[in-house]
A = this chain, B = another copy of it.
């Protein structure tokens, strides 16, 4: 059936209009994610919503992707002109929600497309949906959830290694209740269901994990949560940030498990003895391990999080290996199956800076490759994490970028134009990283 079969689009549209009338909403925000998982949006008065929902909202591509140098680039096929054109934000109506923290405003997540209507090959959300499509076609579905560490602080200030002079900011002690209550209630209304809250090791740092969901909904919730917590913190005049540098480190964990097509059995469950993975899980895990170099490039893409990785390796040769373990929090792939949840894998390569759609897409790409090529890692599974030294992870960012470029499975799964753009983008950061110009960007990150 082609793209907008009129009947279902039409009834979804009607429902949304009724909701607009009942909660008298005046503005709808069309938001899309950029490469860094920060949301870019256009606000439209509600009386144009119907028309924008059909034709999309035009937005210059440069809002989603920053500019590069003047070398010629081979992205799409040959005939039209170059790079700085418009893209259309086509909304996905099932993500329409009323923003509980903003007056009379609603939100819809969009997929950027070119003006001819074909999807933009470099948009993270689309890549994730394609890979989930392939999963769907093989009769699988993914049941996953994100866990973030983030800092909620009193007032903005420099975060650096030398002196620490802050008079009025109370550490968001782990009992500042009203803010947390509203955070939990608001997120629940947005579809992002918070499972539990605890305070982590850093000052003002706390760990929030979301409930698992099927398919793309998990990434949407993570995206919603990231945007939401920044704006709500603002209203309580706090600052919420996922930024990591050598001072303190915010981890981002994707814990996922594979189920059958319509979500009845989980395929990681093997027989009656609960501890280890099913035969199909091991292949998925083998895929993850095999591509762990490329994965870690995509999942901790900031210079800050690299220097943190550098500090945690003790031995002199600065080599880090991807490990897997069972119920072991210091290995990069941790198999857990307790606490009333089916067996699942925690992917701990990432930091909170990664874009949740890319994290999801890369994990699926790697896992699928394990299943297609029947990779096996028997010889590894029964060694302790300390002795597993087969899959090296590069520590420097630029080696990580090469590792990504040489990994053809990941490159073809995510699509050629995206990977080249991603690599070009990070090199650009590496070259131009004086101190304060980087702060401007990071102010950019903060907002």
A162 to B: closest C-beta gap in Å: 15
A228 to B: closest C-beta gap in Å: 12
Within 8 Å of chain B (Cβ to Cβ): is A447? yes
Interface string of A176-199 (1 = CB under 8 A from B): 011011001000100000111110
- Contact present for A43 and B84 (CB under 8 Å): no
Chain A contributes a number of interface residues (CB within 8 A of B) equal to 69
Contact A198:B338 (CB < 8 A) given known A70-B314, A181-B27? no
Contact A88:B44 (CB < 8 A) given known A62-B329, A198-B59? no
A289 to B: closest C-beta gap in Å: 16
Within 8 Å of chain B (Cβ to Cβ): is A7? no
Within 8 Å of chain B (Cβ to Cβ): is A22? no
A421 to B: closest C-beta gap in Å: 17
Residues of B within 8 A of A341 (CB): 55
A157 to B: closest C-beta gap in Å: 14
- Contact present for A231 and B384 (CB under 8 Å): no
CB contact between A102 and one of B41, B59, B177, B325 (< 8 Å): that residue: B177
Q: Which residue of B lies closest to A113 (CB)?
A: B338
Contact A180:B327 (CB < 8 A) given known A58-B339, A339-B88? no
Q: Which residues of chain A in 64-111 are interfacial with respect to chain B, using CB atoms and an 8 Å cutoff?
A: 70, 80-86, 88, 102-105
Q: Which residue of B lies closest to A181 (CB)?
A: B26
Interface string of A329-340 (1 = CB under 8 A from B): 111000011111
- Contact present for A326 and B82 (CB under 8 Å): no
A346 to B: closest C-beta gap in Å: 10
Residues of B within 8 A of A402 (CB): none
Within 8 Å of chain B (Cβ to Cβ): is A115? yes
- Contact present for B197 and A339 (CB under 8 Å): no
A15 to B: closest C-beta gap in Å: 22
Within 8 Å of chain B (Cβ to Cβ): is A386? yes
Contact A328:B84 (CB < 8 A) given known A180-B43, A338-B55, A340-B54? yes
Contact A336:B195 (CB < 8 A) given known A177-B103, A181-B104? no
- Contact present for B328 and A58 (CB under 8 Å): no
Q: Which residue of B lies closest to A48 (CB)?
A: B195
Q: Which residues of chain A in 377-394 are interfacial with respect to chain B, using CB atoms and an 8 Å cutoff?
A: 384-386
Contact A196:B340 (CB < 8 A) given known A85-B328, A327-B85, A330-B84? no
Q: CA A425 – CA B103 in complex, angstroms?
A: 48
SS class, residues of chain A in contact with chain B: mixed
- Contact present for A196 and B44 (CB under 8 Å): yes
Residues of B within 8 A of A59 (CB): 198
Within 8 Å of chain B (Cβ to Cβ): is A56? yes
Q: Which residue of B lies closest to A323 (CB)?
A: B81
Within 8 Å of chain B (Cβ to Cβ): is A173? yes
- Contact present for B42 and A196 (CB under 8 Å): yes
- Contact present for B326 and A81 (CB under 8 Å): yes
- Contact present for A85 and B329 (CB under 8 Å): yes
- Contact present for A338 and B45 (CB under 8 Å): no
Within 8 Å of chain B (Cβ to Cβ): is A51? yes
Within 8 Å of chain B (Cβ to Cβ): is A60? yes
Residues of B within 8 A of A60 (CB): 329
Residues of B within 8 A of A104 (CB): 181
Q: CA A88 – CA B336 in complex, angstroms?
A: 12
Apart from A81-B325, A81-B331, A86-B338, what are 19 other A-B pairs with CB-CB below 8 Å? Answer: A41-B174, A42-B196, A42-B197, A43-B180, A43-B197, A44-B197, A45-B194, A48-B196, A55-B338, A56-B340, A57-B196, A58-B339, A60-B329, A63-B198, A81-B328, A82-B328, A105-B177, A115-B336, A175-B231
Would you list 19 pairs from A and B whose C-beta atoms are within 8 A, ordered by A residue? A41-B174, A42-B197, A43-B180, A43-B197, A44-B195, A44-B196, A45-B184, A48-B196, A52-B340, A55-B338, A57-B196, A81-B326, A82-B384, A84-B329, A85-B327, A86-B338, A103-B177, A115-B327, A115-B338
